[in-house]
Structure 1
């Protein structure tokens, strides 16, 4: 490892101070916060006290600081595109909190700016490294569930939310809040370009004018279906993951994985459809050999997005979240918005 990457934090609120700074506590050998920018003086004072860093009220001053190597954008969603463009124009690396932008068109502008900049753009789809998502992928890849034909993803809760993330003008709504994470999961699990898309947005429990209930069904060119639902209006949550295969099913709920699948060591009997007059049963009787397991979520391999970011910037390794993948997430988000009443 070489010297730590010098971070300038743009936005010291819930994401910047509450998440990014906390995650960096045990990464001080990789990153050091040298500057921070926020409109609120008390937040600037807190950053200066904790990190001994320079603080700025205006983002242009942060961007002009020669000590800042990487701009960590943790401002409101509606500001992400403008702040990312400003940083890239100054030749800085950018670590963009989700969403990458508020629209597909804004996201395209960011990618074009990155191609012209000496800096690199990285998107913080950190939920791609959640243990349950990683473990689900490992089970799918093992083949024990057989050919995967449908997947259901849910993030449910009930909250009469009333902050800025309920207001469309600021990039509010579940589609731009949990949406980038779960749509990214869905696209990764689809393992195919999207062939068909069906969407529905509703406001159920939150105030403001943005949606708090998102339903998206994606059908891949491989004929696999991903049904995802993100809602702040569901009082009894469904499993976070349900994966349906030709030989079994897997569900994940609150850190526990349940599987029921046909024993791969027991061959299935040969069967053919019988066009004759049926007997007293629906089809011929067959005793299937099922295996049932309930295990804690524990993927064989884990990742940390900050460590991946460091290796990409310092060591030139490929960042595992490609910009083209983040752009596809934004395309799905924009298509979903356009088909709804929540267009902003």
Structure 2
């Protein structure tokens, strides 16, 4: 089905002002604060409404940005005039809300994860196929300076062919993080732990550079909150990719603090590492390669929003999405662009739960 992207010229606010896209946010937790701040910096975009079942959270965000406040998602859809919905709710609401909004003709920008199960994933793709609105996914770490710099280096051929890769995430999540949320820690409402909630961005970057995954062999464990949550705090996976490259993935939330994720590519000429906001090249003895031969390893700094280890790509990711809507173009980051990551995430969980190596269907 050919989608019709609604342009700014076709938009009209309830005040009769043409050229303004009106947005709404469902879910007013910490990540919604980042989305609202990004929307506030978009020309031709107005945050019209916010919604949360906790009225005090919706009220706080609404007052800060001059948006109308709702405690009912259904009521906001029925009463408010807007064109783009940002979904910042708990995981189990992502797909149902996206289905409802897309069926109503809205554009949707969704926080991770796109889906918790194969069934939800199929429903989301079906809803997108039927929709005229465009479904954008927030994989903001693709816009981090280090990621962009690594892509540039690879395009220039400086590191050489990728021979393997690894991703390492070491974060900390305590008991209160789960018990005070009302939904985290439950397979039914969160869908999983460290992989689906924290480390999916690192899995995405590993796959962005290594290609199409074909097999996954994984194990998971709950080391430090056994009597508190149902979900894993450790996930380890060995991944085979279509081009013969192999990747290793390790993520934990049982560490004592939150450290920047590391993505490292072992290439023909050197090792290329993405850590924090920079990409750096190392020889095979571990010495960083610097000087005039590596001018592109120096990265510009970007303003981060939210927690520092979330990266600094939210503003660019959201700006890119709205630029496409305004220009009537196809959005740059939706299901087709992150299909490999979603397929791999679900396969890793299946492998860890069954104890079998899983071959991905394509």
- TM-score where L is the length of structure 1: 0.81
Partner Cα separation in structure 2 for residue 113 and residue 158 of structure 1: 35
Partner Cα separation in structure 2 for residue 307 and residue 90 of structure 1: 23
Partner Cα separation in structure 2 for residue 120 and residue 257 of structure 1: 32
Counterpart pick for 1:6 among 14, 18, 22: 22
Counterpart pick for 2:96 among 58, 74, 82: 82
Structure 2 counterparts to residues 1-344 of structure 1, below 5 A:
3-16=19-32, 18-27=33-42, 29-65=43-79, 67-161=81-175, 162-163=177-178, 164-171=183-190, 172-191=192-211, 193-206=212-225, 207-235=228-256, 240-261=262-283, 292-293=289-290, 296-298=298-300, 304-341=316-353
Q: Deviations over 1:256-308 (max 9, x none)?
A: 5442349xxxxxxxxxxxxxxxxxxxxxxxxx9x98228554499x9811221
Q: Deviations over 1:219-240 (max 9, x none)?
A: 2121112222221124596971
Is 2:270–2:283's contact at 8 Å kept on the other side of the alignment? Answer: yes
How much does 1:79 deviate? 0.9
Is 1:145–1:248's contact at 8 Å kept on the other side of the alignment? Answer: yes
Gap runs ≥5 in structure 2: 1-7, 10-18, 292-296, 303-312, 356-362
Q: Deviations over 1:70-104 (max 9, x none)?
A: 11111101111111111112111111111111113
Is 1:103–1:330's contact at 8 Å kept on the other side of the alignment? Answer: no
Gap runs ≥5 in structure 1: 263-287
Superposed CA RMSD in Å reads 2.9
Equivalent position SS for 1:340 = helix
Is 2:217–2:352's contact at 8 Å kept on the other side of the alignment? Answer: no
Equivalent position SS for 1:141 = helix
Query: Highest CA radius of gyration, 1 or 2?
Result: 1
How much does 1:210 deviate? 0.5
Higher-RCO chain (CA-CA 8 Å, sequence separation at least 6): 2
Aligned structure 1 segments of 4 or more residues deviating by more than 4 angstroms: 235-239
Is 1:243–1:250's contact at 8 Å kept on the other side of the alignment? Answer: yes
Partner Cα separation in structure 2 for residue 238 and residue 100 of structure 1: 23
Is 1:148–1:243's contact at 8 Å kept on the other side of the alignment? Answer: yes
How much does 1:66 deviate? 5.0
Q: 1:87 to 1:148 in 2, by over 3 A?
A: same
